[in-house]
A and B are shown apart, each in its own frame.
Chain A
Amino acid sequence: MLSLNELWFVLIAVLFVGFFFLEGFDFGVGMQSQMLPKDERQRRVMINSIGPFWDANEVWLITGAGAMFAAFPEWYATLFSGFYVPFVFALFGLILRGVAFEYRGKAQSAGWRTTWDLSILIGSFLPPFLLAIVFASFIKGLPIDGDMQMHAAFFGDIVNVYTVLAGIAVVLMCNIHGLLFTALRTFGELQERARKRARALLLPTGVVLLAFVIMTYFQTDIFDVRGALLWAIVVLGVVAFVLAGYFCKRKRDGWAFGMTGAVLGLSVISVFVGLFPRVMVSSLGEAYNLTITNAASGHYSLKVMTIVALTMLPFVLGYQIWSYFIFHKRLSDKETLEY
């Protein structure tokens, strides 16, 4: 039986898997909407394809952070204060992007569109890039002292070859994931272009991912701690990645999309598996690690939260899946474009 601390560790992992799977594709569509389309119409179709979803996808992140705050306040506090500057940039991106989607279509001038297009690009790039850096640093280790305070240098502790590689890998994966989503929700030329671009990105992304796994093996202790399980996840990830390429080639966009989502999800899972039972690794000594015990809320609080979460989650999943069902059709040429 899981203890409540373990359960909340798992729930937070689930929330971040959901976040990267879902918001992953709309980050990707956001970035690609600035690189893939041939004309304004195609660009609008791409932005509209994520229109009904991106806001609810982002709530996975907000809920994830809220769950951290409630279940592991020390984790939440150490993380957000320790990564102060990266979070300023991530928030900058999230703010720009949210309003850009909503405002871009509301005026006609070229300057207006260019401004919001740039916002969509920056806003869809910064958050996944920086969050990947944050997650990679969790397992790499950070200078966290005996008072659970993290005093990290921006360059070195936070931004280094290993974490930046994680950032690039996740950004590339989001791009492929987003392109496959575009293939899934559009027709004709745009769909073809999206498939082609996704295929072209697969190989370089595979190389970056592989390099990241190798670096993880040397730079972190997670393969020593959870060797067998992690290798199984790596194998699953490789299989999903190869299958993504296969389905992409066979134009089975839905399956290919599922596989790239699986790669993103497995990446998040591998971080959490490698961490467990820690939540942040201290580079100053094992005694200073934040764990699911020393960072957690009390038993009563966790119990209340568990009851609320397990009651609400089925409804949340239910209506969110339903909303995907409502907008499951491809966007036709004659579509009313709200964005």
Chain B
Amino acid sequence: MDTLMLSRMQFASTTIFHFFFVPVTIGLSFIIAIMETMYVRSGNEEYKRMAKFWGKLFLVNFAIGVVTGILQEFQFGMNWSDYSRFVGDVFGAPLAVEALLAFFLESTFIGIWIFGWDKVSKKIHLLSIWFVAIGTTLSAFWILAANSFMQHPVGYTINNGRAEMNDFLSLITNGQVLVEFPHTVLGAFATGAFLIIGVSAIKLLRKQDVSFFQKSFKIAAIVGIISSIGVAFAGHWQAQYLVKTQPMKMAASEGLWGKSGDPAPWTVVANIDPENMVSTHELKIPYALSFLSYSKFSGEVKGMNELQAEYEQKYGPGNYIPPVRTTFWSFRIMIAAGMAMIFITLWAVYLMWRKKFDQPNTRFMRICLSGLLLPPIANTAGWLMTEFGRQPWTVFGLMTTEQSISPNITAGQVLFSLITFNGIYAALFIVLIYLFVKVIKKGPYAIDEDSHSTDPYNKKEGHHALT
């Protein structure tokens, strides 16, 4: 395999692995902040326990998110140096701002949150988890602003053979980021909520700490229903924006070779044959693609063949059709997982509303276990569609993936790093599962022999360090 293919594999594996943890970080920090707010406002110790218990899972997850994030930042220069040279003037800025505005905030205040339970006042402690939550969300905004430039470049001019920023404001109010940010962050909130729903379901099925996990479940279910419905709406805006800015991705995600016809039907499943450029055995819902694309029940969507011809005229000869099968199926997998999430939270809220939630309901709780898998599936599939669907471009219309690669690295080097990093990811994943199981088994009321001193009543404090 060549350097390009290996580098793409490394980028994909790193990004997918990183993005298992990032949404959990964003979503859980937000929900933990809500729980701690409830504790500070009510004084009820149970909410403090909640913040601490879910905080443990949060921290196990957070550590991997942080360390894989460093790799994310370095790999643009390491594997994609020609890309970095071409876009650095525009793309580097949001990355630097992300570090300055978001990473410092979250890393400093997570330290205060972990180590400050007995060192700062309740309110300062609460403030620090809110700062962590805000920091993670800000971080999402800036990295998505950078990604949005790759999907839909704005605020730049081409000068000396590279993209140079000429309008920062339009870079951060890029229509793409305005739809991508809410979709991603609401997805992250849902991910955090579903982690709590899933873990609570495990404990409730075993009838352990029932009151604690029922309360946790309810908080998560409310966050979950708002965010998972919100994700769908934001996704709908995103699709409308997609038809305008990256019609090829839209056509590929529909397996649409020719014209859609007017009104356009949405394909549920199809057998896609990219070699012969046809899709067969299609099952279609009439009007649905028109609605998805234009919010009305009419309107035609362009197919890949027509777009290919247009692009050839505009960008010169070449193949501008992305991997159709991956784009098509990842889109559907994302939607299916998202629908299942809405269904589960609707059910949960219905039970809460009818005051039936506190009665044992084994069937429902078993279904809730699937909540542990649905968000990561939806998140991953969504990004696969977004990034595969943009191919062959890294920056749409400006630079292809092939042109982006570092010319001075060898396939051997990339193979070495690919094996090294993926080895670490595999090991870390196993460790993470082990620790999750351990924390969950122990439950929220286990005496914490790991972290407490033998004499918890001894409040003797140290002397000032500088005297």
Could you tell me which A residues sit within 8 Å of B by CB distance?
A: 48, 51-53, 55-56, 58-59, 61-63, 65-74, 76-82, 84-85, 87-88, 91-92, 94-96, 98-99, 101-103, 105-108, 148-151, 184-185, 187, 253-254, 297-298, 300-301, 304-305, 308-309, 312-313, 316, 319-320, 323, 326-338
Stretch at the interface among B26-34, B98-106, B359-367, B375-383: B98-106
Residues of A within 8 A of B114 (CB): 51-52, 338
Do the beta carbons of B67 and A94 come within 8 Å of each other?
yes
Question: Given the complex of chains A and B, what is the CA–CA distance between A82 and B165 in angstroms?
Answer: 26
Stretch at the interface among B194-202, B340-348, B413-421: B413-421
The one of A66, A79, A92 in contact with B99, judged by C-beta atoms closer than 8 angstroms, is A66
37-70 of chain B: CB within 8 A of chain A: 59-60, 62-64, 66-70
Minimal beta-carbon separation of B53 from chain A (angstroms): 14
Question: Given the complex of chains A and B, what is the CA–CA distance between A72 and B166 in angstroms?
Answer: 16
Do the beta carbons of B66 and A98 come within 8 Å of each other?
yes
Residues of A within 8 A of B88 (CB): 69-70, 72-74, 76-77, 297
**Does B159 touch A at the CB level, under 8 Å?**
yes
Q: Which residue of B lies closest to A63 (CB)?
A: B99
Do the beta carbons of B164 and A84 come within 8 Å of each other?
no
Question: Given the complex of chains A and B, what is the CA–CA distance between A58 and B465 in angstroms?
Answer: 23
Residues of A within 8 A of B464 (CB): 328-329
Minimal beta-carbon separation of B67 from chain A (angstroms): 4
Residues of A within 8 A of B461 (CB): 329, 332
Residue of B85, B406, B435 contacting most chain A CB atoms (<10 Å): B85
Stretch at the interface among B216-224, B326-334, B448-456: B448-456
Residues of A within 8 A of B99 (CB): 59, 62-63, 66-67
25 cross-chain CB contacts under 8 A: A55-B107, A59-B107, A62-B103, A80-B78, A81-B81, A87-B74, A88-B420, A99-B431, A103-B63, A106-B438, A108-B450, A149-B407, A254-B466, A298-B89, A304-B168, A308-B93, A316-B104, A316-B105, A320-B104, A329-B464, A332-B461, A332-B462, A334-B453, A337-B453, A338-B115
Residues of A within 8 A of B104 (CB): 56, 59, 63, 316, 319-320
Do the beta carbons of A80 and B77 come within 8 Å of each other?
yes
Residues of B within 8 A of A254 (CB): 465-466
Residues of B within 8 A of A149 (CB): 407-408
Minimal beta-carbon separation of B34 from chain A (angstroms): 22
Main secondary structure of the interface of B (DSSP, over half): helix
Q: Which residue of B lies closest to A313 (CB)?
A: B100
Question: Given the complex of chains A and B, what is the CA–CA distance between A79 and B93 in angstroms?
Answer: 18
Residues of A within 8 A of B78 (CB): 80-81, 84, 87-88
The one of A51, A73, A87, A308 in contact with B92, judged by C-beta atoms closer than 8 angstroms, is A73
Do the beta carbons of A69 and B77 come within 8 Å of each other?
yes
Q: Which residue of B lies closest to A107 (CB)?
A: B438
Question: Given the complex of chains A and B, what is the CA–CA distance between A151 and B66 in angstroms?
Answer: 31
The one of B60, B69, B103, B462 in contact with A331, judged by C-beta atoms closer than 8 angstroms, is B462
Residues of B within 8 A of A323 (CB): 108-109, 111-112
The one of A62, A94, A253, A301 in contact with B165, judged by C-beta atoms closer than 8 angstroms, is A301
Do the beta carbons of B465 and A88 come within 8 Å of each other?
no
Residues of A within 8 A of B95 (CB): 66, 69-70
